[in-house]
Amino acid sequence: MERPAWAPQGIDISVPSVSRIYDYYLGGSHNFEVDREAARRAMEFMPGLPKIMQANRAFMRRAVRFAIGEGVTQFLDIGSGIPTFGNVHEVARAADPDTRVMYVDHDPVAVAHSKAVLEGDDKAGVLAADLRRPRQILDSPEVRGLLDLSRPVGLLLVSVLHFLEDEDKPFQAVAELTEALAPGSVVVVCHASYAGIPLPQERVAGTVGVYKDIRNPLVMRTREEIARFFDGCDLVDPGLVPMGNWRPESPDGPEDPYASSGFAGVGRKA
C-alpha cells in the first residue's frame, strides 16, 4: 500500500480511523482505501450516513454562530477531526474576526492536517490529546497559551462522545471539562442514538457492528443518557432535540429524515 505524501510518518495506514471515515462521508480526500471500505460497509446498513454527517456539521455551524451571538469568542473543539470547508474558525470569524479556536484530536492525520491548514494563524491552534484525559487538554501549554479560561469558552463535543464507552468515563470527562470553564461558557453536544433514525434498529445495529469490528465502538445512548452531559449547565431553547431540529435555518426543519437522527443541544454554564 503506497503512503500518500500527506500521510504523517508512523501511522498505520492499514487500520481504519473514525476521523478519516468521517472525512470520506463528507466528500473529503484525506482518507485511505481501508477507511473507504469501512465507510461503504457501514453505508450498506445505513445509506443515509453522509446526510447525517452533513447535518452534524450544519448543527455545529449553527451552534457556533449562536455562541458568538452570546459573546463567546473562544472555542475548544475536542474530537475536531480533519479540517473541511466551513470549519469552526471560519464560521466563527465570519461573525467575529478576533475569535480564537483550539482544535483537539488524537488522530495523527487530523492533527497533521489541522497544522497544515492553520499554519501562520496565531488565533488558532491544534493539540494532539485525548478526551479521556481532560487535564492533559486543560493544562497543556497550547490551550493555556491560546485560550483565557477565566473568560467564557465554547466547548464543542460534536459527534465524539459516542466513541467513548461507559468504561472510558465520558460523563466524568465532560464534567471535569465543564467545571474548568468560566460562567457564561457554552457546551455543545451532538450524539448518536437509535432514536430518530428512519430505519429498524436491527439495520442500524449492522452499522454499529462495523465500527465495533474496526475497534472504534459506536455507543448509541438514549436522550436521557445524553442529557447527563449537560449536568451543571442550563439547556438553551429548544433543549436537547433531534439534530436537525436545533434552531434550523428553514422554518420547516430539515428536509432529509436522516438529519433528525441523534440528539443535539447547547448548554450554558451558570
Using CA atoms, how far residue 150 sits from 13, 185, 229, in Å, is 40, 10, 22
CA nearest neighbour of 43 among 25, 56, 31:
25
Please give the pLDDT value at position 86.
Answer: 82
User: From CA 128, how far away is CA 215, in angstroms rounded?
Assistant: 20
Q: With respect to residue 21, please indicate whether it lies within any of the assigned structural domains.
A: no
Whether the pLDDT of residue 184 is over 90: the answer is: yes
CB contact at 8 A, 157 and 189: yes
CB contact at 8 A, 265 and 80: no
C-alpha cell at 80: 475536531
User: From CA 35, how far away is CA 4, in angstroms rounded?
Assistant: 14
Q: What are phi and psi of 187, to 5 degrees?
A: -115, 120
pLDDT in tens, 71-103: 999 999 999 998 877 899 999 999 999 999 999
pLDDT in tens, 218-257: 999 999 999 999 999 999 999 999 999 999 988 777 778 8
Q: With respect to residue 40, please indicate whether it lies within any of the assigned structural domains.
A: no
Q: With respect to residue 3, please indicate whether it lies within any of the assigned structural domains.
A: no
What one-letter code names the amino acid at 220? M
Number of domains observed in the structure of the chain: 1
pLDDT in tens, 95-128: 999 999 999 999 888 898 899 889 999 999 999 9
What range defines the domain where residue 137 resides? 48-197+219-269
Beta-ladder partners of 155: 76, 187
CB contact at 8 A, 153 and 75: yes
Q: With respect to residue 158, please indicate whether it lies within any of the assigned structural domains.
A: yes
Computed over every residue of the chain, the mean pLDDT equals 93
Cα dihedral sign for 208, 209, 215, 220? positive
Rg (CA), the chain: 18
What one-letter code names the amino acid at 59? F
Q: With respect to residue 204, please indicate whether it lies within any of the assigned structural domains.
A: no
Q: With respect to residue 12, please indicate whether it lies within any of the assigned structural domains.
A: no
C-alpha cell at 220: 448509541
CA nearest neighbour of 154 among 209, 192, 195, 102:
102
Beta-ladder partners of 264: 190, 241
Please give the pLDDT value at position 1.
Answer: 58
Q: DSSP assignment, residue 157?
A: E
Q: With respect to residue 180, please indicate whether it lies within any of the assigned structural domains.
A: yes
Place of cell 493539540: 127
Q: With respect to residue 65, please indicate whether it lies within any of the assigned structural domains.
A: yes
Phi-psi region of 181 (alpha: psi -120 to 50; beta: other; left: phi over 0): beta
What value does the mean pLDDT take over residues 39-56? 95
CATH of residue 115: 3.40.50.150
